[in-house]
Structure 1
Amino acid sequence: MAYTPIEDHAVIGNLHTLALVNLSGSIDFLCLPRFDSPSVFGKILDDKKGGCFTFFCEDEDIRYKQLYLPGTNILLTRYLSKTGIAEVTDFMPIANAEQDFAIYRRLKGVYGDHQIRVDIKPRFDYARQTCRVEKRPDGTGYLMHDPAGEQPTLLLLTSADLEIKEDGLEGMISLRHGENMDFLLTLAEGERHEPDFMPAFKKCRDFWSSWSSRCNYDGPWKEEVLRSVLTLKLLTSKRFGSTVAAGTFGLPETIGGERNWDYRYTWIRDSAFTMYAFLRLGYTEEAEAFMVWIQDKCMDSLQLMYGVDGRKDLEEISLDHLEGYKQSQPVRIGNGAYDQTQMDIYGELIDTIYLYNESGGSITREFWGEISVMVDFVIENWRTKDHGIWEVRSGKQRFLHSTVCCWVALDRAMTIGDDRSLPYPLEKWRTVRDEIYEEIYDGFWNEDLQAYPQFLGSETLDASALLMPLLRFVSSKEPRWLKTFEQIEKKLTADVLVFRYKQEDGATDGLEGEESSFTICSFWYAECLARIGRIDEATIVMQKLLGYGNHVGLFSEEIGIHGEQLGNFPQAFSHLSLISAAFQIDKQTRNTNACAR
C-alpha cells in the first residue's frame, strides 16, 4: 500500500482537536470532538480502512506545494501542472465549545481548468465503524452517520454534486479558471457555522494574526520559533487549558517496530516544558489556564499523565483491525505508562510554577499549601526507583534525571517561598536539597565512564544528562558535566542528530529493536553548545537541525537514519525544545557581542 510519509503532512486545528492534511490535499487524520476522542479519518494508520477526505487533481505531471499563511494555521495546498494552477485553502474556525467543530475547504481555479476528484469516507470509532450517508431533505447537504450512534453525525455543506456510495461520498468537479468550490464539514447538531467561506476565513485569520503578534521573540530563526509556538497552541485545549504531547496515536518510532504509542494525552512533564516555552515568548494566558487545570485536576495525587479533561484511567489497548502506518503494528490507543512511578514530574511541575511566579502569576496560600505537600512527598520519596523520563518498561531504577528533578522541586519551591515570603521549614528543605545534590554529584558519577550515567550504578549514557545545566543543577562549565557532554557527543550523536541512549551500549527499555534519533535531544545538544560557549557550532547545528523539519516547519518525535520523520506528529517536545535552543543561542550571541563591544 502507498502511505504518504509522515513528514508530508501539515496540521490545522480549532483548539479542541486537529487534522492532518497531506501534500495532495487529503485529510488523513482527525479525531472528534477532541484530541483524545475516537478517530473519524485515519488513513495515515490504514491506507484502505482508515478513512479520509480527499481532493485528487487529475491533471498530468502534477507537482504539489503546501504552505501556511504567515502567522496563522491556515493552510494552502497547491496543484501545479501543465494545465495550470489549482489551490485548496483549509482551516478550522476557533471553537468556543468542544462540540463546535468545522473544517472549511475551498477549491480555487487559479489558472486554467482542472478535474478534481472528491472522495469522502468517514470511518467512525477508530475505523471500527463505516458510515451511513443520506442527503438532507432540503437538498443543501449530506449527513454522514456513525452506524453505532456513538460519535456525532457529520454534515457536509457544498454545492458540488456528489454521489452517495455505500460507505461515503464521491464526485468529480470541473474546476474552471477563476471559479471556487466550497466545502464545509461540520456537525449536524446545532449547525453553528454559516456556509459562507470568506467571513469565516477572515475571522480565523484575524484570530491567528492577533495571537502571533503577541510573540516577543525577535532573534534568529524567528519564523521557525513562531511556527513552533503556533503548533504548541494547536496542541492546547481551549476548554481545559491542558496540552497534549502530540496530535496523533500509533505512528511508529521505527518502521515495522512495536514502539507505536498514543500521545494524545496530557503529560505533566511535556506540559510543564510547553508552559516554559509559552512564558518565554510572552503567552501568560496559556500558562494561567494550565495552572487552573493543574490545581483542579492534579494536586490531590499527581500522576504521570491524564486525559485532556483530567481523567486518570488511560487503559492501553491495541487496534488489531488497523494495519498501521507502513504495516507497523500494534496500533495502540490509551497509554499503559499512565500509572508508572515518575519522580521527575514533581521537579518539572514546580519549576513551571516557579517560572509562572516569576512572570507575575498568582501563588495563593491554598496553592502554596498544595505545593508544600508535594515537596514533602519528594522529601520522603526522592530515593524511590522509577521508570525515568523515557518511561522504560524494563523495570525501575534510580534514574539520574529523576533525581536531579527532585533537587529542582526543592530548590524552586524554596525560591518561590522566599520570593513570596511564604512559610516553609527552611532547614528541613535545605538539608534534603543539599543531600540530593551531594548524592548526585559524587554518588552518581561513574569514573570509568567519565560521565554521569543513565541511572545509579549504570554503565550507560543517556542524553537526558544534557538537561543538568538547563535545569540549573550544575554550571555549564562544571568539569564533570563537561566530561559527560563530551561522552554524549562522542557516543550518542550522528552529526547533529542525537540518540536518547544506545541499546548496543547496554541500555534496555524493555522493548524490541533500535530506535531513531530523538529530536528533543538534538535541540538540547544545540542549546548546550551555546551554553558552554561554542556559539558558532551551536548556530550551525541549529541550522542543520531545522533542515530536518518538513516543508512547513513541523517536527515529529524522531528523525530516522534515512532522514525521515518518525513517531507521533506534530510533537510538542520537539517544538518546545526548538524554541528553547533558539532562545539560548540568541541570548549567548547577544552576551558575547555585548562583551566584545
Structure 2
Amino acid sequence: MAGDRAAGAGERYLPIADHGLIGDLRTAALVGTDGRINWFCAPRFDSPSVFGALLDAEDGGYWHLSPVGAVTRRQQYYFPDTNILITRMLTESGIVEIQDFMPVLAAGDRNHRQRLVRRVVSVRGGTRLRTVVAPRMNYGRDAHRVEHQPHGVRFTSAAMTLSLQAGTTLEISGRDAVGTFDLAESRSVLFVLESAETVGGEPAVDLLDAPAAEELFRSTARFWRQWLSRSTYTGRWREMVHRSALTLKLLTHEPSGAIVAAPTLGLPEQLGGERNWDYRYVWIRDAAFSLHALLRLGFTQEAGAFIGWLTRCLRGARGGAGGPLRVLYSIDGDAGLPEHVLHHWEGYQGSGPVRVGNGAAEQLQLDIYGELIDSVYLFDKYGPGISHDSWMDLCAILEWLLEHWDVPDAGIWETRAGAQRHTYSRLMCWVAVERMIRMARRRGLPGDLVRWMSVRDRIYHQIMEQGWNEQDGTFAQRLSDEPGQPPESILDASVLMMPMVKFLSPEDPRFRATVKAIGENLVTDSLVHRYDPKQSPDGLDGTEGTFSLCSFWWVEALARTGRTEEARLALEKMFTYANHLGLYAEQIGMTGEHLGNFPQALTHLALISAATHLDALMG
C-alpha cells in the first residue's frame, strides 16, 4: 500500500529543513512553516507517534492550523532566547501569527502536565482560519474514537487519551476534529492538547482566557531565558551557539538526565535509500559529546544530571557488571531496542523502510569508551567531581577495555559490513586509558597506573605504526594487519579528532598531511563526507550526503593547524546551510537539502565546539 503512494511523494511533504522544534524536556514536536505539526510522540521522545505525517503524509497524522485561502508569505522564528516558535503567515486580508510551545515544569511543581499549546493571533487585519486535528495513535496502527467534551474534544484509543481544549467550536469529522473561525485584528484563539498521562481532574479550560494564556506564554519564555542566562559564551557567533545550546537542551529528558540523539526516526540519509534509522535514544557517544559542549558553555547542572543517568545505566547487566558497554540505550537505560519496520508507512517522500528501534544497539563500538570517559574526566575537572562509586564503575569499565581494545569493531559510523580494526576506535581507546590515568593522578584515586600506562602506550604505537600510510602520507580509516604493512588507502574524517583529544599536536607533520588529504578528497565548499563508500563499502545500498558533524570538525582542524581565516570562512559557510531557525539535520545533500534525522545533537555540539575554539583563537 505504501509503495503505491510513493509516486509524487515530494509534493506531499515539506522539506525537512522547513520545520522548527518545540518541546518540554520530555518529548518534542516538529512544526512546519505551513502551520502543520507533522511529528509528535507522547509522552516521551521514544513513545509511539501521535502525529507522524513527516513519515507518511496520508496515514501518519497531523495538526494543521492555517488561514483559509492563499498565503502570500510564510515566516518562522523563535521568540528571542527561547524555544517558543512563531510562525507568521501573510494573506491578502491580514497577518496572523501562530505561537507554538510546550510549557516546562516550573521549579517547585511536582506533577508535569504535558501540554502542546497553539495560540493564533491576528496581528493585522481580519483573517479566517481553519484547523484540522488528525491524530493517528501508535504510529497510525491504533483506532480511536472522538467525542465532544466541554470546550473541545477528546480522542481515545486503547493505549492513550488526548484532551483538546479550544477557544473556538470544533466539529467531529470521522476520526478528526475540524474548525473554521474568524479572527479580528488583535484577537487570539488558544488550543491546548494534553495527553492522558497528565490529564487530571482539573480541566485545562482555565487556560482559554486571554490573561491565563498570556501568563503561560510569559512563564515559558521566562524559563528558557533564565536557563540560557547561565551561558558563559559571549563571542562572535552568540546567536548560532546559543540556538545550538537551546536545541541540545530540548533533546534532554529532564526526569532522567538522558540526552537523545534526535527527536525523530526514519528520516532518510538519501531520498529513496535504505539508510533510515531511529535516533530517539541515548547514544553514549552523542550524549558524551553533548555533555562536553554544554560544559564548555557553563551548563554544569545538565552535565551532573547526565552523569547521574550514566551511573544508573552503567550498573546494568551489560555495564558495571563487567561486560561491554552498549552503543545506545533507551531513556530508561534499557539496552534492548529491537529494530523492526513499519511496513504500513511509506516513509518521508516515499523513502522506506521506516525503522523503529535500532539494531546498532547490538554492535561493538569501542570508541564509545573514550568519549564516555573523556566526558566524565571533564565533569570531574570542571564540576564538583565524581563520587567513589562512579570511580569504581569506571575502573570496572576500563578493566574490560584493557582486555578487549585490540578486537575489531563496527566503528563510529555503525557500518553493517562486519567488524574492522578502525583507527578512530583505537584513538578513543587511547583516550579512555589516558583520561583514567589523568583522573587518578590529579585526584589521587586508586588504580593500576603502571598497567594502564603500558596499555596506553601500546595503543599509541599501534596507531602510529599501523594506522599511518607512509606512501599516501595520511592516517587511514583502518589499521593494517601487521606492523610494517601499509593500511588500505581509505580516508576517514574521524581522524580529524586527533589533536582535539590531545593525541597529536596539530603541528605534527603527519596530522597536517592528513588534513591536506581530507581537504582534497572529502571536502567540497566546507561540506565534508565522513568517508567514500565506494572505497569503503559499508554494507548498505546507495549513497549519502555530507556529514555536518564532520564539517564542523573540519573547521576546528583548520583552526588548530593555524589556518584561521580558512576556518572562519568554512564556519560562516556552514552557517548558511542551517535552516531558517539555525537548526541542522544529520546531513547536507548535494543541493544543500537537509537529510537524516532532524535536528541532530551531534551537529549542534560540534558547532559549539568549533565556534568557541575558533573564537578563542581569534581573540
TM-score for the superposition, normalised by structure 2: 0.93
1:464 and 2:480 equivalent? no
Matched with 2:484 is none
Letter in 2 for 1:34: R
SS in 1 for 2:374: helix
Q: Which residue of 2 aligns with 1:594?
A: none
Deviations 1:531-575 (A, max 9, x none): 111111111110010000000100000000010001000100110
- Residues 467 and 477, structure 2, Cα contact 8 Å, conserved in 1: no
Supply the AA of the counterpart residue of 1:323. E
Output the amino acid matched with 2:524: A
1:333 is the counterpart of 2:352: no
The residue aligned with 1:170 is 178
1:97 to partner: Cα distance: 7.0
- Decide which of 236, 248, 251 is 2:252's aligned counterpart: 236
Partner residue in 1 for 2:136: 123
Distance in 2 between the 1:268 and 1:496 partners? 27
Over residues 138-190 of structure 1, what are the superposed CA-to-partner deviations in whole Å (9 max), with x where a residue is unaligned?
Answer: x32210112xx11x211111131111011111121111112111101112431
Note if contact 2:269-2:545 (Cα within 8 Å) is conserved in structure 1. yes
Cα distance in structure 2, aligned partners of 1:306 and 1:318: 19
Q: Which amino acid aligns with 1:135?
A: H
Q: Per-residue CA shift, 1:485-533, capped at 9, x if unaligned?
A: 11111000111100011122x1111000111000000000011111111
- Following TM superposition, by how much is the alpha carbon of 1:58 offset from its aligned partner in structure 2, in angstroms? 2.1
Superposition map of 1:30-41 within 5 A: 30-41=40-51
Contact 1:59 1:114 in 2 (8 A): no
* Aligned residue number for residue 284 of structure 1: 300
For residues 503 and 257 of structure 1, the distance between their equivalents in structure 2, rounded to whole angstroms, comes to 14
Which of residues 390, 403, 412 in structure 2 aligns to 1:389?
412
Among candidates 503, 515, 538, match of residue 473 of structure 1: 503
**Corresponding residue for 2:424?**
401
SS of the counterpart of 1:34?
coil
Q: For 1:359 and 1:326, how far apart are their aligned partners in 2?
A: 45
- For structure 2, list consecutive stretches of 5 or more residues without a partner in the other structure: 1-8, 481-487
> Would the aligned equivalents of 1:392 and 1:509 in 2 still touch at CA under 8 Å?
yes
1:119, distance to aligned residue in structure 2 (A): 0.5
The equivalent of 1:142 in structure 2 is: 153
What's the CA shift for 1:297? 1.3
Amino acid aligned to 1:165: S
Cα deviation for residue 353 of structure 1 reads 0.6
Q: How many residues matched?
A: 584
Shift of 1:459: 2.1
Alignment of 1:43-62 (within 5 A): 43-62=53-72
- Matching of residue 364 in structure 1 with residue 394 in structure 2: no
- Please list, as runs of the form range in 1=range in 2, the aligned pairs for 1:397-476 lying within 5 A after superposition: 397-457=420-480, 458-476=488-506
CA distance in 2, matches of 1:365, 1:308: 25
Deviations 1:80-106 (Å, cap 9, x if unpaired)?
122121110111001367973101111
2:314 aligns with 298
**Helix, strand or coil at the partner of 1:79:** strand
The secondary structure found in structure 1 opposite 2:475 is: coil
* Secondary structure of the structure 1 residue equivalent to 2:252: coil
- 1:490 aligned residue: 520
Counterpart of 2:495 in structure 1: which amino acid? A
Q: What CA distance in whole angstroms lies between the structure 2 residues aligned with 1:400 and 1:99?
A: 46
How has the CA–CA distance of structure 1 residues 498 and 469 changed in structure 2, closer, same or farther, with 3 Å as cutoff?
Answer: same
Question: Which stretch of the first structure deviates more once superposed, 296-305 or 483-492?
Answer: 296-305
SS at match of 2:380: helix
Contact 1:72 1:208 in 2 (8 A): yes
CA 1:547/1:97 → structure 2, altered by over 3 Å: closer, same or farther? farther
Local SS of the residue matching 2:31: strand
Distance in 2 between residues matched to 1:219 and 1:448, nearest whole Å: 42
Q: Deviations over 1:274-296 (max 9, x none)?
A: 00011000000111011111111
Q: Which moved more, 1:75-84 or 1:512-521?
A: 75-84
Aligned to 2:597: 568
Offset from partner CA, 1:238-261 (integer Å, 9 cap, x none): 111010000100000000100000
| Counterpart amino acid of residue 338 in structure 1 | A
Contact 1:97 1:239 in 2 (8 A): no
1: distance between equivalents of 2:465 and 2:265? 41
Query: Is 2:117 the counterpart of 1:104?
Result: yes
- Secondary structure of residue in 1 paired with 2:192: strand
Letter matched to residue 383 of structure 2: G
Provide the C-alpha distance between the structure 1 equivalents of 2:70 and 2:291, rounded to a whole number of angstroms.
47
Structure 1 counterpart of 2:92, from 73, 82, 94? 82
CA shift for structure 1 position 192: 7.0
- Per the alignment, residue 534 of structure 1 pairs with 563
1:549 is the counterpart of 2:565:
no
1:179 corresponds to 2:187 = yes
Distance 1:43 1:131 in 2: 17
Cα distance in 1 for partners of 2:576, 2:143 equals 39
Task: List runs of 5+ in structure 1 lacking aligned partners.
Answer: 591-597
Which whole-Å CA distance do the structure 2 matches of 1:471 and 1:10 have between them? 33
What is the alpha-carbon distance in structure 2 between the residues aligned to residue 170 and residue 12 of structure 1?
Answer: 23
| C-alpha distance in 1 between matches for 2:449 and 2:288 | 26
Q: Deviations over 1:54-112 (max 9, x none)?
A: 01212435210000011100011001122121110111001367973101111111111
Paired residues of 2:42 and 2:195 also in contact (CA < 8 A): no
1:113 aligns with 2:136: no
User: Which of the numbers 6, 21, 41 marks the counterpart of 2:16?
Assistant: 6
| 1:371-386 equivalences in 2 (<5 Å) | 371-386=394-409
Which whole-Å CA distance do the structure 2 matches of 1:109 and 1:352 have between them? 47
For 1:595, the equivalent position in structure 2 comes to none
Quick check: 1:154 aligned with 2:167? no
Give the Cα separation in 2 of the matches to 1:421 and 1:324. Answer: 54
Match of 2:548 among 509, 514, 519: 519
The answer to whether the Cα contact below 8 Å between 2:506 and 2:560 also exists between their aligned partners in 1 is: yes
Cα distance in 1, alignment partners of residues 70 and 468 from structure 2: 63
C-alpha RMSD over aligned residues = 1.3
User: Aligned partners of 2:133, 2:574: CA distance in 1, in Å?
Assistant: 37
Determine whether 1:348 maps to 2:371: yes
Amino acid at match of 2:78: Y
The residue matched to 1:552 in structure 2 has which SS? Answer: coil
Distance in 2 separating the partners of 1:491 and 1:525:
13
CA offsets, 1:311-348, max 9 Å, x none? 11000000010010000010000000001001111111
User: Which secondary structure state, in structure 2, belongs to the residue aligned with residue 214 of structure 1?
Assistant: coil
Residue equivalent to 1:593: none
State the percentage of identical aligned residues. Answer: 44
**1:314 and 2:324 are equivalent in the alignment:** no
| Kept after mapping to 2: 8 A contact 1:33/1:99 | no
2:346 corresponding residue in structure 1: 323
Q: Match for residue 4 of structure 2?
A: none
**2:233 counterpart of 1:217:** yes
Q: Retained in 2: the 8 A contact 1:87–1:107? A: yes
Q: 1:543 to 1:273 in 2, by over 3 A?
A: same
Q: In the alignment, is the contact (CA less than 8 A) between 1:121 and 1:131 conserved in 2?
A: no
**Which residue does 1:133 correspond to in 2?**
146
